[in-house]
Amino acid sequence: MDSKATYNSVDEYINAQPENIKSLLEELRQIIKQTVPSAKEVISYGMPAYKANSVLVYFAANKQHIGFYPTASPIVVFKDELTNYKTSKGAIQFPIKSGIPATLVKKIVEYRVQEDEMKALAKKSLKK
């Protein structure tokens, strides 16, 4: 969890984390990849990120939680399902001791895929 470290791949990022956090990050990674297999896995802002037309979601390890960054709109859309988690404008904190809420993550990623596709289509129609 060295915030000054730079990573070249998601594998490198995950492998640099403490053992108790690696499995949670790998679980989160697998949920994202299963939900959107076509997403490109990249490092952006020093964190693992998943891109389609634009970045869909990011995640990062912290000492007490896994930060999940799906952008701002899902925080509003899923606010009723996020009451058990600390949130901010574009972030959700999943406490290490609570694990990853797979169903919720899947729903948020699916929402972001739809949102990303709509934005991409809107951009294309503006260019015509």
- pTM of this structure: 0.91
Residue type for 96, please?
I
Answer for the pair 111, 35: CB distance below 8 angstroms, yes or no.
no
In a domain, 1, yes or no: no
Classify residue 4: in a domain, yes or no: no
In order of 48, 63, 82, 124, the CA distances from 68 in angstroms are: 10, 14, 12, 29
CATH of the domain at 47: 3.90.1150.200
pLDDT higher than 60, residue 3: no
Quick: pLDDT tens for 23-78. 999 999 999 999 999 999 999 999 999 999 999 999 999 999 999 999 999 999 99
How many structural domains does the chain have?
1
Tokens 């929402």 belong to 111
